[in-house]
Structure 1
Amino acid sequence: MIDIKNITKTFGDRQVLAGIDGTFKPGDTSLIIGGSGTGKSVLLKCMIGLIKPDSGEVLYDGRNFLTANLDDQKTIRREMGVLFQGSALFDSKTVFENVRFPLDMLTDQSEEEKLDRVQECLRRVELENAGDRMPSEISGGMKKRVGIARAIVLNPKYLFCDEPNSGLDPLTSIKIDQLISEITDEYKITTVVITHDMNSMMEIGEQIMFLYKGHKLWEGNSDTITQSDVKELNEFIFANKLLREMEK
């Protein structure tokens, strides 16, 4: 479980996050939604330690990540898996080598153990026959799946996905959503997804937090999001639906 309490962040005279609270539960696919510039990615970066908030707490199963000593922070980081927006694969490494990279950096496993674990993760994302291919030789959707395999190779307790559907066609987006949801449920991971995709909200949004200009204006799930009386959220949903229609 992840608890965030009163997270604030200001850049210069611009407040990006204004006292954000939230709880993210194991086995749930939790979404943080909102338009561009609302603070979604900044909040994610605060949660994984890429940005230090001005105030607040980030608790991983009761452990305050922000005030922990360096060794404890490293321990918590090893329990995280991150799928970056652009997949962030190493162009000079094969698919197999990309997935193996965290094992090389953070474990003392034998070559046989690494081989078994990488193959297991590639099978889980249905890329068991793509290990020898380079990132330049695979599609955008396959790159996302490689990114997911790399994110789960260390058996993380916490999974963070930053705009996993960015740049993908609607059908591939649905498949990526389903894969993230299935892995979350299967391994009881605490998953946090940054997205503005309406399909994601309706299909995998077991918990949804809506940010607007750095404030949390609404929280609920896919069953209650269309019943909201929050004007800014309704406008966001309408604009998202309109964009979807235009893309068809």
Structure 2
Amino acid sequence: MLEIKNISKTFGDRQVLYNISGSFEPGQTSLIIGGSGTGKSVLLKCMIGLVKPDSGEVLYDGRNFLADNEEEQKTIRREMGVLFQGSALFDSKTVLENVRFPLDMLTDMSSSEKNDRAQICLQRVGLEGAGDRMPSEISGGMKKRVGIARAIVLNPKYLFCDEPNSGLDPLTSIKIDQLIKEITDEYQITTVVITHDMNSMLEIGEKIMFLYKGKKLWEGNSDTIVHSSVSELNDFIYANKLLREMEK
């Protein structure tokens, strides 16, 4: 289980997070939603150690990630997989080399073992045979799949996805959502997705946290979100519906 307790963060004189708390369960796809500038990505960076909050706790199975020493933090980081916004692939590396990169950095596996593991992950995301291609030679949806394969190559207990559907057409977005959900169920990963995509909220939002101006205003799931009495959330949902209609 992943827990966050009273996470607050200020940059200069601007507070971006106000005492955010929540928990995220294994085998569950949890979403953090909200408009631009609401603190979603900052909260994610606090959870994975890229940003240090001013106060609060981040607990991985009871282990305080923020209080641990450097060696213990490395142990927890090895249990994380991250799909960055835009996939963040290395342009100079092949698809296979991109996927095996975490293995190169964090393991003592042999080269053949790394390649075998990377191939298994590529096969899991439907990209068997694409290992020798360069990122410039594949579509945006395929790049997302490569990013997912890289995120799971270390058999993580925790998977973090930052706007996995950004820049994708609606049909490809649905496929990426389904893949994330399948992998979460199959490996019983604790998955946290940062998104503003309405389809994601309704299709894979087993737990949803809504942020507004750095504060948690609502928490629920895909069944209860449309019945919310929080006006800011209802406005956010309505704006997403209009955007979806315009994209059709």
- What residue number does 1:164 align with? 164
AA aligned opposite 1:109: M
Q: Secondary structure at the match of 1:118?
A: helix
Q: Secondary structure at the match of 1:81?
A: strand
- What residue number does 1:209 align with? 209
1:231 aligns with 2:223: no
Q: Distance in 1 between matches of 2:89 and 2:239?
A: 32
Q: Distance in 1 between matches of 2:157 and 2:23?
A: 15
- The C-alpha deviation readout for 1:6-39, integer Å capped at 9, x for no partner, is 0000111211000000000000000000000000
- What residue number does 1:139 align with? 139
- The C-alpha deviation readout for 1:190-239, integer Å capped at 9, x for no partner, is 00000000000000000000000000000000000001000000000000
Q: Distance in 2 between matches of 1:100 and 1:192?
A: 22
- What residue number does 1:3 align with? 3
- What residue number does 1:121 align with? 121
Shift of 1:74: 0.3
Q: Secondary structure at the match of 1:216?
A: strand
Identity over aligned pairs, percent: 85
- What residue number does 1:88 align with? 88
AA aligned opposite 1:3: E
- The C-alpha deviation readout for 1:33-62, integer Å capped at 9, x for no partner, is 000000000000000000000000000000
Structure 1 segments unaligned to the other structure (5+ residues): none
Shift of 1:243: 0.5
Q: Secondary structure at the match of 1:87?
A: coil
What does residue range 7-22 of structure 1 map to in structure 2 within 5 Å? 7-22=7-22
Normalising by structure 1, we get a TM-score of: 0.99
Q: Distance in 1 between matches of 2:14 and 2:136?
A: 39
* Deviant stretches of 4+, over 6 Å: none
1:29 aligns with 2:29: yes
Structure 2 segments unaligned to the other structure (5+ residues): none
- What residue number does 1:151 align with? 151
AA aligned opposite 2:244: R
- What residue number does 2:55 align with? 55
Q: Distance in 2 between matches of 1:32 and 1:153?
A: 24
Q: Distance in 1 between matches of 2:13 and 2:234?
A: 29
Q: Distance in 2 between matches of 1:58 and 1:140?
A: 32
Q: Distance in 2 between matches of 1:47 and 1:105?
A: 21
AA aligned opposite 1:231: S
- What residue number does 1:198 align with? 198
- The C-alpha deviation readout for 1:98-147, integer Å capped at 9, x for no partner, is 00111011000112211221111000000011000000000000000000
Q: Distance in 2 between matches of 1:68 and 1:88?
A: 28
Q: Distance in 1 between matches of 2:35 and 2:190?
A: 23
Q: Secondary structure at the match of 1:8?
A: strand
State the number of aligned residues: 248
AA aligned opposite 2:81: G
- What residue number does 1:222 align with? 222
- What residue number does 1:42 align with? 42
Q: Secondary structure at the match of 1:17?
A: strand
Q: Distance in 1 between matches of 2:134 and 2:69?
A: 38
Shift of 1:92: 0.3
Q: Secondary structure at the match of 1:31?
A: strand
Q: Distance in 2 between matches of 1:88 and 1:220?
A: 31
AA aligned opposite 1:212: Y
